[in-house]
Structure 1
Amino acid sequence: MTGIVFRGPKDPSEFPNWRFETLEIDYDRETASVWMNYRVDAPQCYTPTMLAELLQLRDSLRVLGMSGRIEQFPFRYLVMTAKRPGVFSLGGDLATFAAAIRRQDLATLVTYAHACVDLVYGYSQSLDLPIVTLCAVQGQCLGGALEAALAFDFILAEENAMFGLPEVAFNTFPGMGAVTMLTRRVGSALTQQIIMSGQTYTGRQMFELEVIDQVTSPGTIRAAAVEWMRDAGGKKWRRRRAIAEARRRSHPVTHDELIRITELWAECSARIEERDLRHMERLVRAQKRLIGSRQNAPEGEQLLVSSSS
């Protein structure tokens, strides 16, 4: 069974010098923002180790927000982004999924899925802190990575970033937040279209569909995010926080709803046919090739792993 070892929160007195295997934490005083970066050398999907660290960071930020350390490091924004060129994240750990399905290990799928929706739910509630959350995307943001992004208050992306929910390609569905979060943003009809098509969309297309909030030129995501947060006097931050809270009140997300949907995902995925499982395994191999190719790829080159791989 896949183990997700839950870890206690980091010591707030050591912020911003927290150390993780898969994440890098930065603090920007000008914008009062904490940046959660996927490391360049981190796995390009949500492995059990990365999930454990993301949950630990969630708990650490909550402790930080209630500590006296917050006076020294004011905290208004949480930004999720990646330092890997060309890849934000490829989403769920398909190797773990495929191995669990092969051995009919539903418990591993459920354990993994519960950890994911615990994280997504925390993001959807802005970690229960008086902050605004921003997801800043460059490169490929697929599957579970898009589900995590959708839980943030606002999404900013480079116009050539690539978004998609490819799960339909192996006869399952995105079960870790996409149904709930997309419906809250764009309604049920467009949500069904995006999920059932398995199509890949550019950042520009996602902006036109009103899934994301703002686009920027290729190669400018970090500067654009800083500019978006710049705010003399905090007027923009207060307005954004109010808008995000109004969205939560008008379209509430419950942990129970996310759990019930993700358990449907686990049951559906555990029953996929052999041909679908082989397709999933081919996609795992394609992701591994992507990791290897990325080491030698020219900067900015797109190496898209699509649902047709």
Structure 2
Amino acid sequence: MTFKTRYEQAQRTLWGYLSPDHVASFTMDFLGALSAHDGALKQNAGHILKDGVRQPVHFYVWASASQKYFSLGGDLAYFIRCVKSGDRAGLNDYATRCVECVYMRLNYYFADDLITLSLVQGDAFGGGFECALSSHVIIAEEHARFGFPEIRFNSFPGMGACSLLKRRVSQPVAERLLLCGERYSATAMLELGLVDIVVPKGRGICAVRDYVQSTSARRHGTAAIYRARQAVSPISRDELMSITHDWVDTALKLEDKDLRLMAQLVLRQQKSLR
């Protein structure tokens, strides 16, 4: 995957697209590109350079260039290679990059009035679902599907899901989602409170623009409420990293049968782009 952006000056909205390359997952190259872009956004206090001019970002949308998926999650092929070679450092490096991206978004890039959105127009599984959950607002098209399949190959989503779910649902509901490995519709996620808005297929971009237009006049108050969310239910870097270390330990315990299941999912990730 590569990371591409587009800035809409009229609404001060930055779109970040999770664009397909050879596989619909978060590769190390993608994470590096995302980290560099978002690090610059943080460094510039919620501004970007557009044609050499410093422009404010009031809304930052994560979306996909594909109508079939938002993201299918972690780079399972990379995980398999690391597990087979016992490469703890490689797994830890990958997980740390993910956590840093999530943590920066959870803190709205340290720009107080910046509001983040995820536009899910297709499948959001595993790390893709974690990615969506790190935004203030999630808008999904009705055909989108969500889930955490990691338990199927004896693992768990370790880059933020456990912490992010607790903000929106009870612990029993969160654990059910993590332990069942099932896929859920956008409507089911709306009913649970994990998705904020569901719209018909093809209406997602319009829904985002409608939200931005209706929220702009009260953006400061809305952003303050989202900052209060972080104050009332804080998610620290230490918390995220502690869970990530456990994820690495768990990954290194995977057996051949677990890796075979992961390999099957790798094929599905690759086929999703055909």
Range of TM-score over shorter length: over 0.9
Task: State whether residues 231 and 237 of structure 1, in contact with CA within 8 Å, keep that contact through their aligned partners in structure 2.
Answer: no
- When residues 33 and 67 of structure 1 are mapped into structure 2, their CA distance, relative to the original with a 3 A threshold, is closer
1:97 to 70, 74, 79: 79
Aligned to 1:3: none
- When residues 43 and 68 of structure 1 are mapped into structure 2, their CA distance, relative to the original with a 3 A threshold, is closer
* Residue 60 (str. 1) matches residue 40 (str. 2): yes
Deviation by residue 1:51-84 (Cα, 9 ceiling, x = unmatched): 0001001112123336696985232111100111
SS at match of 2:7: strand
TM-superposed CA distance for 1:288, in Å, is 1.9
TM-superposed CA distance for 1:40, in Å, is 4.4
Task: State whether residues 137 and 195 of structure 2, in contact with CA within 8 Å, keep that contact through their aligned partners in structure 1.
Answer: yes
Aligned to 2:108: 126
- When residues 178 and 67 of structure 1 are mapped into structure 2, their CA distance, relative to the original with a 3 A threshold, is closer
Deviation by residue 1:211-264 (Cα, 9 ceiling, x = unmatched): 1111111111111101110048x3332232022111101100100000000110
Query: Runs in 1 of length 4+ with deviation above 4 angstroms?
Result: 66-72
1:139 to 122, 147, 160: 122
- When residues 51 and 66 of structure 1 are mapped into structure 2, their CA distance, relative to the original with a 3 A threshold, is closer
SS at match of 1:283: helix
Mark the runs of 5 or more structure 1 residues left unpaired by the alignment. Answer: 1-20, 295-309
Aligned to 2:243: 261
- Cα distance between partner residues in 1 of 2:24 and 2:236: 28
Higher strand share: 2
Q: Give the number of equivalent residue pairs.
A: 271
Corresponding letter in the other structure for 1:95: A
- Cα distance between partner residues in 2 of 1:189 and 1:75: 37
SS at match of 2:218: helix
Aligned to 2:136: 153
Task: State whether residues 89 and 140 of structure 1, in contact with CA within 8 Å, keep that contact through their aligned partners in structure 2.
Answer: yes
Corresponding letter in the other structure for 2:83: I
* Residue 201 (str. 1) matches residue 181 (str. 2): no
SS at match of 2:235: coil
Aligned to 1:304: none
Aligned to 1:244: 226
- Cα distance between partner residues in 2 of 1:229 and 1:201: 27
Aligned to 1:188: 171
Normalised by the length of structure 2, the TM-score is 0.94
Corresponding letter in the other structure for 1:205: A
SS at match of 2:272: helix
2:270 to 288, 300, 307: 288
Aligned to 1:174: 157
TM-superposed CA distance for 1:187, in Å, is 2.3
Task: State whether residues 47 and 57 of structure 2, in contact with CA within 8 Å, keep that contact through their aligned partners in structure 1.
Answer: no
Larger RCO (CA under 8 A, 6+ residues apart): 2
- Cα distance between partner residues in 2 of 1:168 and 1:217: 31
SS at match of 1:84: coil
TM-superposed CA distance for 1:45, in Å, is 0.4
- Cα distance between partner residues in 2 of 1:72 and 1:53: 20
TM-superposed CA distance for 1:148, in Å, is 1.3
- Cα distance between partner residues in 2 of 1:289 and 1:83: 16
Identity %: 32
* Residue 45 (str. 1) matches residue 25 (str. 2): yes
TM-superposed CA distance for 1:272, in Å, is 1.3
Q: Pairwise CA RMSD of aligned residues?
A: 1.8
- Cα distance between partner residues in 2 of 1:114 and 1:215: 32
- Cα distance between partner residues in 2 of 1:68 and 1:40: 24
Aligned to 2:68: 86
Deviation by residue 1:190-219 (Cα, 9 ceiling, x = unmatched): 110110011111111100110111111111
Aligned to 1:301: none
- Cα distance between partner residues in 1 of 2:266 and 2:20: 19
Task: State whether residues 47 and 55 of structure 2, in contact with CA within 8 Å, keep that contact through their aligned partners in structure 1.
Answer: no
- Cα distance between partner residues in 2 of 1:109 and 1:68: 31
1:35 to 6, 15, 22: 15
